[in-house]
Every structure is written in C-alpha cells, then in structure tokens.
Structure 1
C-alpha cells in the first residue's frame, strides 16, 4: 500500500507534535521509525492507524484517508507498548475479536505463537504481566497479516530471548508475505539489521529518510593507534571518539577508503549512533 504524508501537522494546545511533515512510503518494506522521546513518532502512528485526526495536512493510503474508514483500517494494525486490549477480555476473546476485524487473520499462526510465548488462552488481560501483555500484542500484530503493520515499542517487559524470537518470526512472516512494517524502537542496535529504510523524526519534523544500507555506509568507525587516528581525523566530520591504552576509535562521516589507505581498521557505524548524532549533537 502506498502511504503519502502531506504537510501533516498535529497541535496539542501550545505543543506542536508534528510540524508540516511530508514523505512517502512507496512499497512493502521494513521501515525503522526512529527519534527521541517526544519527537512525534507515536502521534504519526496514531494518525496513520486512523485513531486520531490531524490538525492540518493529511495521510493518504492508496489515495484514501484512514480516519473513520473501516475498509482501510482493517488493513492497518497498530500495536503500541501498552493498553492495546480491554482488561476484562481473555486472550481467547482478544484473538477471536481480532479474527473478525482483520480479513487476513491467521488463526493457526496466532495459536502457534500463544504456545511459543507460553500464554494461557483463558487468562484475562488484566492478569497478564507486562511481558505477557507485550507478547499478546506481538501475536495480534503478526497474525493480523495487515498490509500495514505498525509496532510502537512492542516488547516492553520481554526478555532478550523472547525479543529475539519475535524478530525471527517477524522476518520469517515478512519473507513469506511482504507487507509494510513500520517499527519504532529505542533498542535500535537489536533490530537495525532488519530495517530496509530508516526515517528519523526530530521535534515533529522529518530529519532524515534514507535507505538503510546507504545510511550504514555513510559513516565508518576507524581504529588504530591514537597518533594515526588523530592525524587522520583532523579535517574530517567526526561523530565521536573513544580512547583506550594508546589505541583510538573514531566514528567519521565518509572517508572509509581513505582510512583503509592510511592503514587504519575500518568497520560500520551502528545506526543508533548515527541517530543520536543527527538528533542530539548535530541537530535535525
């Protein structure tokens, strides 16, 4: 589904959560939606899912607005970090209701994931731990098979092993049936290798939209003796440096080939470090 965001603005009193933001998502991909707390990511996702209205501007999905559009919202599944389901419902009822709402619902996948995460179908949502509630959200998001599936910090309370399993299943399902997956997270290093395209929002504005591989290759970590690295970075744009026992590593924008020629060790820079640099040190 083609997603067009046109001059999207959302105002809450004196606070502008989104400020005339515009971009397009043209094809099924796994998109990383990144930014600091309060950047406007959740507001964007709620407008995309048809849950709230914008103050001005619009989101069009295949040319239609999502708000009060049941045909369209059946193709969008937003799983937030909490409060996705009514507390008095049992897990079995949550799955049943979801199967009625999402036309492409995969009940066999849902039950398989219930077993994977050791959930009791008879348990009520209000009796679930935070991790179990997150697991239920993940199950609904994956089993919905919604053409636009949005995960907003969906793993709160899950341990590392459970999160890893989620990432593996998400990739398996995406490879079988590509869809637009928008993933917002602060655990960027855990999931960044999944991203095919990255969007960074800062203070309600789009700071960056880039192919993930291009972004990864836009900077490099150069390592060597402190003297060699210091000499190399003198005229370069440096993100950060680390020193230990006479050795030094510097994150540098570009210049990977020159670093190799200078006898330095060269590796990629984590997307998380680039995001922090863009939103904090360099500014959007």
Structure 2
C-alpha cells in the first residue's frame, strides 16, 4: 500500500507537533521511524492509523484518507507502548476480538506467540505485568498480518532475550509475507540492521529519509589534524565536527575508501549516532 504524506501538520493549541512534512513510503519494507522524545513520531503514527485528524496537509493511503475509513483501518495495525487493550478483557478475548477485525489474522501465529511468551490465555489484561502486556501487543501486531503494521516502542518491560526473539519473529514473518512495518524505537542499536529505510524526525520536521544501506556506506567519522580534516571535508556535507588539542573529528557524507586515501582515521557512523547528530543540528538551527 502506498503512503503519501503531503505537507502534513498537526497543532495542539500553541504546540506544533508536525510541521509541514512530506514524503512517501511506496514499498513493503521495514522502516525505522526515529527521533527524540517530542519529535512528532507518535502524532504521525496516530494520524496514519486514522486515530486523529491532521491540522493541515494530508496523508493518503492508496489515494484515500485513513480517518474514519473502515476499509483502510482494517489494513492498519498500530501497537503502542501501552494502553492497547481494555483492562477487563482476557488474553483470549483480546485475540478473538482482533481476529474478527483483521481479515488476514493468523490464529496459528497468535497461538504460537502466546506460547513463546508464556501468556496465560485466561489472564485478564489488568493482571499482566508490563512485559507481558507488551508481549500481547507484539502478538496482536504480528498476527494481524495487516499490510501496514506499526510498532511504537512495543517492548516496554521485555528483557533483552524477549526483545531479541521479537525481532527474529518479526523478520521471519516479514520475509515470508512482506508488508510495510514501521518501527519507532529508542533502542536503535538493537534493531538498526533490520531497517531497510530510515526516517528521522526532529521538532516536528523531517530531517532525513534514506535507505539504510546507503546511510551505512556513505556516512563516516574521520579523524586527523585540523588542517587534514578541513581539507578533506571542503565541499562536502558535514553533519558535525569537533576539535580538541589540534585534532578534529568530523561526521560527514563520504566513503571509507576516500578517507583512507587521504591518510585519515575513519570508521562508520552507527544510525543511532547519526540520529543524535542530526537532531542536535536541527535543535541548534
């Protein structure tokens, strides 16, 4: 399903949550939606899933607005970090309700995930720990088989092995039946290798949209004397540079091979570090 975001804005009284952002998501991919707290990520996901209205611009999914659109909402599953389910429902009730709503619901997958995370089908949501409630959200999100599946910090309370298993199952399901998966997370280093494309928001604006492989191959951290680094970065787009005791480190768009030819120390820039530098630059602008 093609997602078109056109000059999208959202205001809450005097606060601008989204500021005239535009981009498109055209392929079934695993997208990383990144940014600091308050960047506008959750607001964007709420509008995309049809839960709230924009203040300006529009989101179109296959040419239609998702708000109050049952055909589209059956194709979108948004799992947030909490408050996804009514507290008095049991686990099996939750699965039953969602199985009626999503046409592509995979009951076999839901049951295997319930076993994977040791969830008691007869337990009420209000009795679940934070981690178990997150596991239930992950179960619903993956078993929905929704063409657009959105996870907003879905693993709160899960330990590292449980999170790792979630990433493995998500990738297996995506490879067997590709869909658009949007994953918003602060644990970027854990999942960055899963991302096929990255979007970074800062203070309601889109500061980057790029394929992950291109980012990994084209963003580098170089170190050397100030003169050496300044000479290398001349004419290049510089993300950040720092100096100390006559030496300079710069984060720049370039290649490892090119930097090594100039005798500079060079290494790749992890996506998490890139997000930090880009959002710092945006904040200071």
**Is the alpha carbon distance of 1:165 and 1:21 closer, same or farther for their aligned partners in structure 2, counting shifts above 3 Å?**
same
Residue 119 (structure 1) aligns with = 119
- CA-to-aligned-CA distance 1:117-167 (integer Å, 9 cap, x gap): 111111111111111111110000000000000000001111111111000
Residue 95 (structure 1) aligns with = 95
1:71: Cα distance to partner? 1.3
Q: Distance in 2 between matches of 1:258 and 1:201?
A: 30
> TM-score w.r.t. structure 1 length?
0.91
- CA-to-aligned-CA distance 1:7-49 (integer Å, 9 cap, x gap): 1111110011111111111111111111111111100100110
Q: Distance in 2 between matches of 1:277 and 1:177?
A: 35
Residue 136 (structure 2) aligns with = 136
Once the two structures are superposed, the pairs formed by residues 51-70 of structure 1 within 5 Å of their partners are: 51-70=51-70
Q: Indicate conservation of the 8 Å contact 1:222/1:229, yes or no.
A: no
Residue 268 (structure 1) aligns with = 268
Residue 229 (structure 2) aligns with = 233
> TM-score w.r.t. structure 2 length?
0.91
Q: Indicate conservation of the 8 Å contact 1:239/1:253, yes or no.
A: no
Is 1:208 equivalent to 2:204 in the alignment? no
Mark the runs of 5 or more structure 1 residues left unpaired by the alignment. none
Q: Indicate conservation of the 8 Å contact 1:76/1:147, yes or no.
A: yes
1:281: Cα distance to partner? 3.4
What is the root-mean-square deviation in Å for CA atoms of aligned residues? Answer: 2.1
Q: Distance in 1 between matches of 2:206 and 2:248?
A: 33
Residue 172 (structure 1) aligns with = 172
**Is the alpha carbon distance of 1:92 and 1:240 closer, same or farther for their aligned partners in structure 2, counting shifts above 3 Å?**
farther
Q: Indicate conservation of the 8 Å contact 1:232/1:259, yes or no.
A: no
Mark the runs of 5 or more structure 2 residues left unpaired by the alignment. none
- Of stretches 77-86 and 249-258 in structure 1, the one that deviates more from structure 2 is 249-258
Aligned length: 277
Q: Distance in 1 between matches of 2:227 and 2:112?
A: 56
Q: Distance in 2 between matches of 1:239 and 1:278?
A: 8
Residue 104 (structure 2) aligns with = 104
Q: Indicate conservation of the 8 Å contact 1:8/1:57, yes or no.
A: yes
Q: Distance in 1 between matches of 2:239 and 2:71?
A: 49
Residue 72 (structure 1) aligns with = 72
Q: Distance in 2 between matches of 1:15 and 1:282?
A: 17
- CA-to-aligned-CA distance 1:32-71 (integer Å, 9 cap, x gap): 1111111111001001101111112111111111111111
Q: Indicate conservation of the 8 Å contact 1:28/1:180, yes or no.
A: yes
Once the two structures are superposed, the pairs formed by residues 17-36 of structure 1 within 5 Å of their partners are: 17-36=17-36
